Amino acid sequence: MSKKPLQVLIIDDNLSDREICCQLLREHSEYDCTFLCASSGKSGIDLCQSARPDCVIVDYLLPDFDGIAFLDTLDADLTMLPFPIIMLTGYGDEMIVAEAMRAGAADYLPKDLLSTKSLGRAVSNAMEKHQLRRALEEQRRLLWRTNAELRRRNEEICTFYHMLSHELKTPLTAAREFVAIVIDGLAGPTNDTQREYLGIAKESCDQMNLGLNDLLDVARLDTGKLHIEPRLTAMATVVKRAVTMMLPMARSAKIDLSDQIEPDLPDLMMDARRIMQVLTNLIGNALKFTPSGGQVTVRVTQLPPEQDGILVAVRDTGRGIAPEQRSRIFERLYQAREAKEVFEGGLGLGLYICREVVKLHRGEIWVESTLGQGSTFFFTLPPYGVSMISERKQEEVST
């Protein structure tokens, strides 16, 4: 097998040491070496830049530089060094060696151990290490570029969702408003049947609006732009409001919706609007999967002192969730993946948004269920969780 050409730069102020190195490397088994020589750090650096050698062997003690200063001067960014550097040490000083390796040397060799074998192996190792490092660097750059591209596309999708939402909401508003105008009798008298049908049309508009809002939330979650605005809030108020809001839906489905709120709950730091969204989502799901005559209960209790915080449980008497689905229902686009088997309506984004909103509050969300008997969705809210997040964010900013 023919040897690979290798241009080696040897930097040493001692002429005989330089010649020994050349001599030893001429017998290298793998490389056909040619040599460039420099007798000072300065001329060595000039040659590194002008001649672009494949490998550099440098004496740690030069008249103008020591090995570390040489490495520092050569390139501030060591990962970008175009060639490996082998440091020759005179004293076998471990401190020097460690520092040189940290500063970017590929290998080191005490001068008194120089031999065809040792120097040859040092060069081979250094070249191999260097090539691996280059390959790794190339992969890293590729990964970084791909990542940046994905982020850019995600941003694009997010912007597109916003435009889409705006473009759909405007006609949706007009449609909903004209339906409401007719229902309210502003376009002449209507009969009960007409009003009932128009009521369905208006509700459909509202459902479409909720779907669009979910889409926007998911786009925000994907780009890390969904932020919560926590304020000290009474959980009881939020739960009561959510239950009141869902009562009409419960009534029309003939389901008994009620709340059980422990008295004297502590106020929590939360984004009330977002927690409302979680509650209405969970209650809405419970109502959707519970047959008429069933029950949906929202229970709020204080967690034991060692855990602290509040536990919310939304319990239904619906058909329950199969064990293999329980962990997956919180996943993004769960519905899209499962749609081929059973389509339940909705985009399947609701529980994913719930999970992310609870996570942003540093709480937990999970489901317990018995097939045929019903499901209970639980979530916890820690008392100071959110303020801890904002403190951590501030720390990150200040460092």
Partner 1 sequence: MKKILMVEDDKRIIAALNVRLRAKGYDVCAAYDATLAMTQAIAHQPDLALLDISMPGGDGFVVAERLRATVTTANIPIIFITALKQPGLKEKAKALGAIAFFEKPFESDNLIAVIDAALGQTATI
Binding site for partner 1 (CB under 8 A): 162, 165-166, 169-174, 176-178, 180-181, 186-187, 205-206, 209, 213, 216, 227
**Which lies closer to partner 1 via its Cβ, residue 216 or residue 303?**
216
Q: Which of 294, 279, 293, 298 is nearest to 350 (CA)?
A: 279
Partners of residue 10 on adjacent β-strands: 37, 57
Shortest distance, CB of residue 242 to partner 1, whole angstroms? 18
**Which lies closer to partner 1 via its Cβ, residue 170 or residue 252?**
170
Shortest distance, CB of residue 332 to partner 1, whole angstroms? 19
**Which lies closer to partner 1 via its Cβ, residue 166 or residue 337?**
166
Q: Running DSSP on this structure, what letter comes out for residue 267?
A: P
- Distance in angstroms (rounded) separating the CA atoms of residues 312 and 305: 16
**Which lies closer to partner 1 via its Cβ, residue 28 or residue 176?**
176
Non-local CB neighbours of 7 within 8 Å, separated by 6+ positions: 33, 34, 35, 36, 51, 53, 54, 55
Shortest distance, CB of residue 362 to partner 1, whole angstroms? 20
3-state secondary structure of 264: coil
Shortest distance, CB of residue 203 to partner 1, whole angstroms? 12
- Distance in angstroms (rounded) separating the CA atoms of residues 384 and 277: 20
- Distance in angstroms (rounded) separating the CA atoms of residues 56 and 153: 43
Residue type, 169: K
Work out whether strand 107-110 and strand 231-233 pair parallel, antiparallel, or are unpaired.
unpaired
| C-beta of residue 295 within 8 angstroms of C-beta of residue 316 | yes
Shortest distance, CB of residue 216 to partner 1, whole angstroms? 6
3-state secondary structure of 87: strand
Shortest distance, CB of residue 212 to partner 1, whole angstroms? 8
Shortest distance, CB of residue 213 to partner 1, whole angstroms? 7
**Which lies closer to partner 1 via its Cβ, residue 76 or residue 186?**
186
**Which lies closer to partner 1 via its Cβ, residue 38 or residue 183?**
183
Q: Running DSSP on this structure, what letter comes out for residue 115?
A: -
Shortest distance, CB of residue 226 to partner 1, whole angstroms? 9
Shortest distance, CB of residue 277 to partner 1, whole angstroms? 13
Q: Which of 39, 72, 75 is nearest to 58 (CA)?
A: 39
**Which lies closer to partner 1 via its Cβ, residue 49 or residue 170?**
170
- Distance in angstroms (rounded) separating the CA atoms of residues 349 and 211: 9
- Distance in angstroms (rounded) separating the CA atoms of residues 225 and 290: 34
DSSP string for residues in 324-389 = HHHTTTTSTTHHHHHTTT---SS-S-HHHHHHHHHHHTT--EEEEEETTTEEEEEEEE-SSHHHHH
